[in-house]
């Protein structure tokens, strides 16, 4: 750039004389000016800096700055915690709904289970009663039958041999009254009818009174014909019967199936082995702490379930 510089004339020159000197100024590049302004302060700035106090830089002890920082931090934390709480609350609400549904379904299942258990117990009792009645009917239908044990297979003419056997046991019964419909081995076809009831009772009573019965050098035993289920039940009573016999207590079998005996003027009629063992413990024929030789067959069902919510 080119400028004109005007200077006042010296004293020896007239006052109206003026001097003009060309002055050439070279413009520095903008980058150099900016760098120089950034790197080194100008003299004027240096002089102004000498006259003014240096500015105090902000420190961490500035109350306003700390307050603004705390405000921003608290605002961010509140927003973050609020967002997290909404998410957690939504998850807890969903879990609560699912838990409530499961509890309701569990209550319904327990209610149905208890009802089914009661119905099963009722049906089991009915089936047991029906089986006992069926067994009783079968035993009553066999009242006219006699079961004879000990007769060898070599006896072929059973009608004549059995008639002679009965006449030897009960000679007071006239032969015409011993009318037998059929005499057969145990594996044969069951008879349609048999001796009259009074004749059966007389023969059984005579067999019990005779004790040991012998027919042609053979030991004979006469029993009432019973259903296989009844025979099996009587076998399960063997431990209890042994104690009753050792106490010299007379007993008999009743229909429907039960054991009948009298002890100290009181009658007892247990219908199962468990009842018989408890009865013997109650009348002090068996110690209370003595366990039964046969495991208990009674089904003590599990306790009923109840809703817990």
Domain range enclosing 269: 226-293
Report the number of distinct structural domains present in the chain.
1
Q: Is 7 domain-assigned?
A: no
Q: Is 2 domain-assigned?
A: no
Tell me the β-bridge partners of 119. none
Q: What whole-number distance in Å separates Cα of residue 150 and Cα of residue 291? A: 37
Q: Is 126 domain-assigned?
A: no
- In 3D space, the residue among 147, 164, 117 whose CA is nearest the CA of residue 304 turns out to be 117
Could you tell me the pLDDT band of residue 303, with boundaries at 50, 70 and 90? low
Per-residue pLDDT tens digits for 172-209: 888 777 777 776 666 544 444 444 444 556 666 777 77
Count of helices and strands (H, E) across the chain = 8, 8
Q: Assess whether pLDDT exceeds 90 at residue 77.
A: no
Weakest mean pLDDT among 2-11, 212-221, 299-308:
2-11
Distances in whole angstroms, Cα of residue 279 to Cα of each of 234, 275, 293: 17, 6, 15
Q: Is 203 domain-assigned?
A: no
Per-residue pLDDT tens digits for 35-66: 444 444 455 544 454 445 555 555 555 778 88
DSSP 22: E
pLDDT, mean of residues 208-237: 78
Could you tell me the pLDDT band of residue 127, with boundaries at 50, 70 and 90? very high
Q: Is 205 domain-assigned?
A: no
Q: Assess whether pLDDT exceeds 90 at residue 123.
A: yes
Q: Assess whether pLDDT exceeds 60 at residue 256.
A: yes
Per-residue pLDDT tens digits for 108-118: 888 899 899 99
* Residue labelled with tokens 């609560």: 96
Predicted local distance difference test score (pLDDT) of residue 116 = 92
The rounded mean pLDDT for the chain is 73
Predicted local distance difference test score (pLDDT) of residue 2 = 47
pLDDT, mean of residues 290-296: 76
Predicted local distance difference test score (pLDDT) of residue 13 = 46
Q: Is 23 domain-assigned?
A: no
Q: Assess whether pLDDT exceeds 50 at residue 97.
A: yes
Q: Is 200 domain-assigned?
A: no
Q: Assess whether pLDDT exceeds 60 at residue 10.
A: no
Predicted local distance difference test score (pLDDT) of residue 200 = 59
Could you tell me the pLDDT band of residue 160, with boundaries at 50, 70 and 90? confident
Could you tell me the pLDDT band of residue 156, with boundaries at 50, 70 and 90? confident
- Sort strands 218-224 and 146-149 into parallel, antiparallel or unpaired: antiparallel
Element (H, E) at 76: helix 63-141
Percentage, residues of the chain above pLDDT 90: 6
Q: What is the CATH number of the domain that holds 245?
A: 3.30.250.20
Tokens of 19: 């001097």
Predicted local distance difference test score (pLDDT) of residue 18 = 47
Bond before 55 cis per omega within 30 degrees:
no
pLDDT, mean of residues 244-264: 86
- In 3D space, the residue among 151, 252, 262 whose CA is nearest the CA of residue 205 turns out to be 252
Q: What whole-number distance in Å separates Cα of residue 222 and Cα of residue 148? A: 5
């Amino acid at each position: 750039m080119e400028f004109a510089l005007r200077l006042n004339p010296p004293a020896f020159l007239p006052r109206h004389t003026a001097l003009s000197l060309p002055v050439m100024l070279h413009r520095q590049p903008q980058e150099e000016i900016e760098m120089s302004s950034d790197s080194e302060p100008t003299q004027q700035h240096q002089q102004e800096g000498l006259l003014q106090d240096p500015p105090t830089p902000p420190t961490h002890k500035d109350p306003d700055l700390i307050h603004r920082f705390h405000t921003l931090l608290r605002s961010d934390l509140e927003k973050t915690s609020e967002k997290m709480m909404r998410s957690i609350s939504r998850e807890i609400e969903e879990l609560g709904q699912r838990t409530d549904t499961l509890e309701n379904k569990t209550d319904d299942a327990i209610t149905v289970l208890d009802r089914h258990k009661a119905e099963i117990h009722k049906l089991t009792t009915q089936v047991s009663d029906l089986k006992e009645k069926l067994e009783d009917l079968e035993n009553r239908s066999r009242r006219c039958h006699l079961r004879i044990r000990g007769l060898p297979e070599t006896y072929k003419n059973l009608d004549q041999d059995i008639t002679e056997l009965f006449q030897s046991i009960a000679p007071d019964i006239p032969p015409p009254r011993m009318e037998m419909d059929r005499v057969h081995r145990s594996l044969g076809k069951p008879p349609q009818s048999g001796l009259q009831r009074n004749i059966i009772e007389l023969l059984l009573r005579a067999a019990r009174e005779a004790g040991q019965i012998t027919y042609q050098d053979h030991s004979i035993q006469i029993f009432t014909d019973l259903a296989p289920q009844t025979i099996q039940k009587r076998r399960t009573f063997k431990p209890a019967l042994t104690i009753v016999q050792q106490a010299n207590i007379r007993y008999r079998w009743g229909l429907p199936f039960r054991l009948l005996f009298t002890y100290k003027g009181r009658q007892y009629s247990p219908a199962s082995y468990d009842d018989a063992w408890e009865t013997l413990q109650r009348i002090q024929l068996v110690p209370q702490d003595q366990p039964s030789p046969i495991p208990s067959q009674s089904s003590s069902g599990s306790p009923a379930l109840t809703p817990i919510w």
